Each structure stands twice: as structure tokens, then as C-alpha cells.
Structure 1
């Protein structure tokens, strides 16, 4: 029979040994926060005892704070996790370094409505192979739907619901996978902003984190959404929108022809209607539109992928923000007064939950706010996340409580709340928001619109996976045009046609210029234009690229090569052996 005691006899004995062995130190210990090594962790039950005594337990560098591995992966996104599993499975020592406390990136931060087979115009599930497919198989296993999932694959049916999941389920899958593969995971290890990367010539020697740990490896992988390791290692990158002329594109730069997601009501943009001298409303940028196709620093809006429920037993009400300002929602107020509709969230993932992101331009995205996020300091980023959370919390409060919201619309929003069983260490709120665009590496090869278009596409001769999604670019700015509020920058309307095709992920887009770094790859910040990255930036594609990048890293370690010199023939052979899909399957 299982004991109801808080600790087992074995655990109590271990606690006593720890306490008796440090008895003489207790006067000192009680006078200061406890410090434990981020490399050698204390047992969880001991941490619980110390916490019960009111002691602070902080992560500090150990006497020996150096970690060595064959491959170091910075960034615990889905790409980073899959890369770690692949490299470990191939017999290499691997350390996965994550700035936060959770592994899985957006797949565990609310994006459960994965973009697989959810578009009427095409079926992209045949592109999901290798460890990415294994992830979704494990998800199916957690829900007891393995048979249905395998039957769907055999019949090549489109059943998007079978690909969807709750955040905490995805995190459980990733955590179990890391342990099973023997991956060493360092959580709470953020790359130092100053001197965080040590290089010798064009090779990275080691990383240094803010808490003093040093991680040395033979090959490094930047699996962050932001591309911090790329930048700190001196690799060239881009952030904003290139002009059409740079790569001979048609959908890049400023979009004066934006139709997708445009407001269907004419809304006065000024604080005092009709008076331009009164200033623009909150959420509208007071800047000129610019010329069509010209370069612009603005990038598509970010969003929180909130996990919501209507289940009273699991619901945390969304309260009024402490700094709530009703004037911040005047755009919504005027739009509703003009007869516009802002539909509420709807169930889209298992157990009646949802993951809203941007189903309406006045509901989810932070349009015009996040252009500098990828290159901002850590402190600036934290402030942006805080401001964005306050804003979206205010939107939900407004839509349920403001008398300007029509009753029929208010009822669509009523009853939705955060989930008690999701993001439990952050009050039901995701810890990060959806970084739809970070830094994009600029290498000798750049993936462009020409590679992903259907008509006369540019060939990809070194495919290490498939991009099977059209350029998906949300609005970058909310401006004044012809005296009314106007959204600029969305490109997704093009996906309603058959203009785009499955495109190979070029291996050359995952490696930097050899002159800049010879032992670094990135599956999340590939060398690509703004438009082509809009087709790339899907979670399953990140996973596919993560596995392929890790495989190349292993080859580089085994053969003592730079990542640029890895044989594509050898790489391709191993990827196919491991189930990667490198070309569109025959129907």
C-alpha cells in the first residue's frame, strides 16, 4: 500500500544526511539565500524541505561550472528539442541550453492548433516525417488515439483534429523524450548579453550564460526564435522587410495593396474624430504608408496563444488589468459602433480548449509594436511582453464588460477563461508570446519567394525537409490611409490560390557564411527573405529542420568538418534512413 507520508523512509534518511552533514553551517545558511549548482541539481524533495523552512533556493554557478559536449543546442524550442533527440540518438553527447524553464517553444506555450491539414486548399501532412512525425505519434498516444492516427496516415486523410493538442500534453511529451534520449538539459541558462560567445577565428569555442556556466562543444545549433546565438557569434542577419528589388520578389516590402484581414468598416483614426491635429488612437501608428514594395523595418505582429476554457472547474477568470485604460480600446469601440463584429474565441484543441492568436485584427495581434523585439535587450523584451499581456488582458476585459460592446457579441466572449491546468507556474498565462519573426540569417544562399512559388520555381538541390505552407504574413502596421484606419502588410490572402508549392528546405539556408562561423547551424532562423520565411515558420517545419541540422552536426563532428563542408549526399542518405521527407510524395 502506498504511504500517505510526505516523504518515504529513504527520502527522510537522505534529508537527515544532508542536514547533519551541514549542521555547523546552519547559522550561515539561515542568514543568506541558498545557492545550488545549475549543473548538479539538488533532489526535488530536498528543495521542497528547504522551501518549507522559508529558505530561498537560487541557481548559482558551481565550483566546476564548465560543461563539455559534442553538440550544444541553444534554445529549447520544438526545433531544439528534436535536434537534441536526434544528436543523442546518433550517439553524441548533447547539452540543450534553455533560457527559460520549459522545453518545446510555442508548442508548449499555447500553439496547439498546429498548421497541419487545416487549410481547404491543400494537404500538407505528407511533409511531416522523421522525428516530427514521431512527436505527433506520441501526442496521439497520450490521447489514446493511436489507431485513429495511424489509420489516417495510411489513408492519407485530412483530419486536422488528430494533429492538435493541449500545451501541457506537448510539454510532457518533450520532457519524457529528453529523458529517454539521455539529453542533458540546462534550464534557466540565458546566454550572457556581453561576451556570451567565445570564438577562435571562425569557430565558436564555448558559450557563457548569465549564471556563470560555460558550455563548450564542437558544433553549436541556434534553435531560438530570436537568433540570439547567431548575432552574438557575429553572423550576418536581417530583421525587417527587404524591398521587392533585393531578391526580385513580388510580395516583400511595403504593401499598399493589402486586402487580407482588412477592416470591413471605415473607422476614424483620430482621438477627436475628423481632427488630425488631435493625434491618432492607441494602436494606430502615425507614420506615412510609403511606396509599394520598398523596404521597411516593420514586421508582422506577435500574439499570445492563450489556452482558454469554458469549463467552470478548470477556468481562471480573466480579470481587469491593474493599469487598465479604457481609451486603449477606442478602436474596438468605434468599430463595434459602426456595426462591425469581433467574434469570440472558439474551441479548437482537445478538451474544449482553444488557442486564439489572431482570428480578428482587433482581437489578438499586437500590430505595430514588436518591430525591434528580435534585436532588443533582454530587459526591453521583458517590458514588451509585459505591455503586450496587459493589452490583451484589457481586450478580454473590455469585450466582456464595456457597455459599448453589443450584448450578442459580449455573450460570444463571456465564459472564456484561462486554464488552471495550463502554464501553472504563471497563473494560466503563457510565459512567452508568439515571435513570428526573429532574426533571419544572411548566408551565401538565401531562400526567396522564387523557391516557393508554383510558376517556374527556382530549384532546391540540397533539400533536407519540406516547406509546405504558403507565405503567411500578418499585418505589420496599422496606419491612416485616406482618412481611415488601415491595416498594412498581410500577405496570406495569396494562400487561397494554388500559387505556392511544396519546397525543399535548402541545407545551405541552415549554415552561415564560412568566413563568419564554421561550426554553427540554425533550424529556426534560416537564411531567407521575409516573404519566404513566412512559409517556413511553422512548428512542424522547425522540427524537421531541427532533426536535419542535428544530423549534419553529427556528421561534422564525426568527420572533423566545418558545417559548410558536410557532404549533402551522405547527409541525404541518413535523413532518408531516418524517415525525413525531402520531396513531395507521389500521389
Structure 2
């Protein structure tokens, strides 16, 4: 198929891709938005409606929401007839988490209409044809080959997938998994000595035949050894489906028994309850009377520990297998919650009040089409965001080239469910844990690769971070800020005929401030900690 040539090529289906494409179009550029997914908007259109904005007791991070991220929320609030409320919240710096929440169907509608406003954005559906699908001449990327045989050429390229597939195919340095604590001197890195958040405290016999290790472990427990605290590995933070459920009868499809349901896969949950463990029940917190299942509401919730290993570098076929397996397990878990007689009757009755939302994901039997990809590849550049970047005490000096503010604790979900000293153990969660953290400016240098690897590529969603550092960056509204920054940097580089590494920060900063971005970390507030 003939090549199409663009000023800026954005690869991805995420929030960062949306922001990068829209900002590029606003600057008058001819833009290709190459979406490997049929639906565009990332996890915001797949169920994450309870955003990580102002939802924690000890801090208010809505003070960092500006630029296109704020415009998105204005458009969503207009749909819900609450725009005046949002504007008052922004103006008075009021903490109001509900005004930032939305339904997946509404986010997809708003984003679709927003993209349609720009005739200079060409939407191209297609994934990279292979792991070597990037056409390159020296350190300059020329184009990409897609699975439909189309070649998309451009002057500048923005990686905006969750997985970093474009970076890897372009030969740009990436990593995935957990570094050791010695790699960057991070106390939170690697295998966790103490995982307290959502830990299993009930005593559970882990073997298929109780008391018989030779019978093997029940489903969901890995036979991998615990390992040495601080050691690195290639495990990923658990993914989950952010499933909207509702108890509104007119919009409810009852939870059903999925084809392939295997009741043995939930034996761990049966034994957990029998041992005194508590499962959780749905919590409505979205417009339309809907839930937003996070995945980590309890030690045994919908987080899929270990089931996403292989996603980061997997082929399209391997990722589809993971999607199929995790969707079946999650649907089966919900059916188990309403039907298994080992569970308390009142618990089953509460879950039975809820069902899938008839007005969501109509092309996928009302179940999300994608997992929440919390953790995959990350670029490794000359500057790396680490635990120290987010540290309140003895941390790095604030960066001189911020392009958005990361205002969130270092946050990674558990990576494994294993045996530790004979007990079932969830390992790997990092969230607060007594760590004195701070908001920080995300450096422009974290968005551009090493000079010798590519001069016309930057990333909105896979910045140069350690595993711990990425946990503070990976929020959707922060990806909007990074996408907006990438678009402006590409435009400046094109106008001046320079590489992205040479974009003058003062010019980028001026633009971002004019576009309503928040860049001064001194003005956004700070988390409150108890006295030391």
C-alpha cells in the first residue's frame, strides 16, 4: 500500500495519544493518529471513571490539572450539566472528587467528538506489523509498517501506547519489570520485604489436597520462590478490568455464568472466606449509579496477579490470549460471588443486586474490551525518574525543565501471589507505605531518547523511569500533560529544523504556560504527613 506522509505521527490509542494528536492539530500540523485499538481513549473509555484526582484524604492533586486534561474534564462536565460546578472547583481550589468522575461511554463519546473537530487529524486503525516495523535511517525514523500493509511516514513520531511497542521497534532503549534496589539505590525497588497493602492475613491451606504439598498449589498461587528482598525481576504490576456494574434495574444485565467457567479456579477464595477472610462488595461512585472496580479493594479482589506476565513484550496473539484468559477469570469471579454456596448468603445477595451495564461496551457483551495496563515497557534515556525524584527527604533537586506535575504516591500493584514461609502471600504492592513523597515536575528529558538512538521521537506514555518512579507518573491526566508537551516539542523542532533533544526549554515552557499547563510545583500544594 502507498505510503502516507505526515508532519507528526502519533502511535497509540491512549489518553496520551488523544492529547498528542489534538495538540498537534491545534498547532496546524498534519497528524496521523495510528490506533492499534478499535476504540480510542485508553482506560478512560474502558471503565476507569473514578479518576485519581482528589480521591485521597491527605492531599489534593486537582491543582495540577490544566491544559488539555482540564479541557477534557470541562467537556465531560458539560455533558453532565455540571460545568459551573467544575469551574468553581478549579477557581476556588476546592476538593471535590465527584466532579472529576465519569462513565466510560461518556468519555468515549466526548473524545470521539473532540477528535472529529480537526480535519487535519487522520485516524488510521492498525498495529505495528512486527517488532521490526519501524523504518529508520541512522537515528532518524522515517515511517512505520502496519499489519494492513500500510506504511505511514512522518517527520516526527510520538510513542503513545501503554506498551512502548513503537520505541522497541525503533531500537530505542527500553526496560520492563522491577529493577533491583541497588540499580538506582531505591529502597522500594525489587522484591518487597514487607507488603502490607491488601495483604492476606488469613491462614489458608494452599495445596490441591489439603496438607499434601505433592498435590500442587491451588489455582492462582505461583510456585516461584519468594526470593531475596531488593532483587529485581521481570514481573509486572497486576492488571485488572475496571468493570462498571450497576444496580439500576432498567440498565442492568444480570451477571452470568461465562462459557468455560471453572469453579476450581476460585478455591483460594473459598478457603480464604472459610479461614475468616473478608471479601468486598461493590461500591457505587460513578454517574449513572455505577461501580468502578479498581482491582485492589481487598486481598482477593479483581487484580490479576501474575496473569499479565508476558504482556509487555508479547505479540498481538499472545496479548489476545491474556485478554481471553483474564476476561474469563474475571467474569467467572463475579459469577462465583453471586452463586457459590460456600460464600455467606448476604454477600451473594449484595453482589446479585448488581449486573453489567447495558449502556456500556455494547460491542463486547457489556464487558470492558481492554485491561488496565498499569505497567509495561519504559524508555531508558539519559535522565531517569526514580524513587529519589519523588522523595520528600534527601531527594533530587527539582528539575529545571518540567512539562507537567506528577502528584501521586509511588503506586504499583502487587506482582505475585506466592508462598512465603508456607503462607499465601501477596507480594509487591507499593502505595504510601510510610514513604515521605512529594509532587514533582516531570522533566522534558524523560520524554526524549538518547540522542544517538533517535532525534525525532518522543514518548507521552512510557517516559524514562524506574519501576518505582513510573508508579508516580502513570495517571491518565498526567499522560494528557505529557502528550501535550510532546506535540509542542515536535512542532518547535520542525519549525527550527532541530532534533527533539535540542528543543529550547524556554520556548516549550512559554507555550505550555500559554496553553494553561501547570508547571510550578511550588504552587500545587503538598501531601500532609503525621509528625515524624
**TM-score, length-scaled by structure 1:** 0.87
Alignment of 1:463 with 2:402, yes or no, is yes
Structure 2: 5+ residue runs without aligned partners?
Answer: 526-532
- Highest RCO, 1 vs 2 (Cα 8 Å, sep ≥ 6): 2
Question: For 1:268 and 1:586, how far apart are their aligned partners in 2?
Answer: 48
Alignment of 1:392 with 2:330, yes or no, is yes
Give 3-state SS (helix, strand or coil) of 2:412's partner.
coil
Question: For 2:341 and 2:368, how far apart are their aligned partners in 1?
Answer: 29
- The answer (yes or no) to whether the contact 2:61–2:524 under 8 Å persists in 1 is no
Tell me: CA distance 1:183–1:402, structure 2 relative to 1, closer, same or farther (3 Å). Answer: farther
Write the deviation string for residues 237-265 of structure 1: whole angstroms up to 9, x where unpaired: 11010001000111010002111110131
Question: For 1:172 and 1:553, how far apart are their aligned partners in 2?
Answer: 28
Aligned to 1:16: none
Question: For 2:130 and 2:255, how far apart are their aligned partners in 1?
Answer: 35
- The answer (yes or no) to whether the contact 2:40–2:108 under 8 Å persists in 1 is yes
Aligned to 1:11: none
- The answer (yes or no) to whether the contact 2:245–2:291 under 8 Å persists in 1 is yes
- The answer (yes or no) to whether the contact 1:96–1:183 under 8 Å persists in 2 is no
Write the deviation string for residues 108-158 of structure 1: whole angstroms up to 9, x where unpaired: 011111100000010000111111111111111010001111111122111
Alignment of 1:413 with 2:351, yes or no, is yes
Map of 1:548-587 to 2, 5 A cutoff?
A: 548-584=485-521, 585=523
Aligned to 2:83: 146
Give 3-state SS (helix, strand or coil) of 1:486's partner.
strand
Aligned to 1:284: 221
Aligned to 1:133: 70
Question: For 1:478 and 1:586, how far apart are their aligned partners in 2?
Answer: 37
Aligned to 2:300: 362
Map of 1:123-272 to 2, 5 A cutoff?
A: 123-193=60-130, 195-272=132-209
Aligned to 2:254: 317
1:318 positional shift: 2.3
1:317 positional shift: 2.1
Alignment of 1:75 with 2:12, yes or no, is yes
Question: For 2:402 and 2:145, how far apart are their aligned partners in 1?
Answer: 33
1:456 positional shift: 2.5
Write the deviation string for residues 384-424 of structure 1: whole angstroms up to 9, x where unpaired: 00000000111011110011011121122112111111111
Tell me: CA distance 1:401–1:188, structure 2 relative to 1, closer, same or farther (3 Å). Answer: same
Deviates more, 1:312-321 or 1:223-232: 312-321
Aligned to 1:53: none
Give 3-state SS (helix, strand or coil) of 1:385's partner.
helix
- The answer (yes or no) to whether the contact 1:472–1:492 under 8 Å persists in 2 is yes
- The answer (yes or no) to whether the contact 2:162–2:462 under 8 Å persists in 1 is yes
| Count of paired positions | 522
- The answer (yes or no) to whether the contact 1:343–1:412 under 8 Å persists in 2 is no
Give 3-state SS (helix, strand or coil) of 2:424's partner.
strand
1:184 positional shift: 2.4
What is the RMSD computed on CA atoms of the aligned residues? Answer: 1.2
- The answer (yes or no) to whether the contact 1:71–1:94 under 8 Å persists in 2 is yes
Find 1:114's aligned residue among 51, 55, 72.
51
Aligned to 1:5: none
Write the deviation string for residues 481-524 of structure 1: whole angstroms up to 9, x where unpaired: 12111110011142xx5711111011111011111111111110
Question: For 1:479 and 1:412, how far apart are their aligned partners in 2?
Answer: 30
Aligned to 2:528: none
Aligned to 2:443: 506
Aligned to 2:373: 435
Question: For 1:410 and 1:530, how far apart are their aligned partners in 2?
Answer: 38
Question: For 1:81 and 1:524, how far apart are their aligned partners in 2?
Answer: 11
Structure 1: 5+ residue runs without aligned partners?
Answer: 1-60
- The answer (yes or no) to whether the contact 1:205–1:217 under 8 Å persists in 2 is yes
Question: For 1:547 and 1:586, how far apart are their aligned partners in 2?
Answer: 19
1:212 positional shift: 1.6
Aligned to 1:377: 315
Aligned to 1:485: 424
Tell me: CA distance 1:319–1:202, structure 2 relative to 1, closer, same or farther (3 Å). Answer: same
**TM-score, length-scaled by structure 2:** 0.96
After superposing on structure 2, the runs of 4+ consecutive aligned residues of structure 1 that deviate more than 6 Å are: none
Question: For 2:91 and 2:510, how far apart are their aligned partners in 1?
Answer: 24
1:446 positional shift: 0.8
1:182 positional shift: 2.8
Aligned to 2:37: 100
- The answer (yes or no) to whether the contact 1:552–1:563 under 8 Å persists in 2 is yes
Find 2:414's aligned residue among 475, 479, 495.
475
1:361 positional shift: 3.0
Question: For 2:214 and 2:106, how far apart are their aligned partners in 1?
Answer: 52
1:194 positional shift: 5.0
Give 3-state SS (helix, strand or coil) of 2:33's partner.
strand
Q: Which has the larger radius of gyration?
A: 1
Deviates more, 1:185-194 or 1:366-375: 185-194
Question: For 1:571 and 1:458, how far apart are their aligned partners in 2?
Answer: 23
Deviates more, 1:116-125 or 1:175-184: 175-184
